[in-house]
Amino acid sequence: MKILSYNPGHDGAFAYVEEGRLVFSIEAEKSSKYRHSSLSVLDAFDALAELHAVPDVLCEGGWWPGDSPRVGEAAADYRGSDQVIVSKKRFLGKTIDFFSSSHERSHLLCAFGMSNVPKGTPCYALLWEGIIGAFYEIDAELNVSPR
């Protein structure tokens, strides 16, 4: 599976994963040397130049509504431990899957994915990020709920 993920606004970045392996990452902050940089048109062309095929899934990170321009369908917001958007989108002449998860949920599942907790094991997590400070339960199906 080929997955192209991006966050267009604050700390903008592209990441491309193929068969579970990170192929490339383009971070606007590293390119521009300015903290919290948004993606630029040049960043988008750099990401497209690295693709060898149309991805199977396009993922957009959630953020504050109105913080960065959104193209087409709405993406997930900053808050919402259960907020996920799944749909189809046209990309480079092909219809592919589109996925967006809230910023809050993304932090939690990223921490879970990088931990040594085996998939399917329920656990609790603490998120302390931005304006969020809360405990959550992650169940065996990776459903997240505040506690």
Walking along the chain (147 residues) 10 residues at a time, the average pLDDT comes out as 86 88 84 68 88 94 66 74 91 95 90 92 91 92 92
pLDDT at 34: 59
Residue that has been written with the tokens 């192929």 in this structure: 23
Distance CA 2, CA 21 (A): 9
Q: pTM for this structure?
A: 0.79
Tokens, residue 28: 């606007």
Domain boundaries, the chain: 2-103, 105-146
pLDDT at 78: 81
- Residue from 13, 25, 10 nearest 68 by CA: 10
CATH architecture of 2-103: 2-Layer Sandwich (3.30)
Largest CA distance in the chain: 44
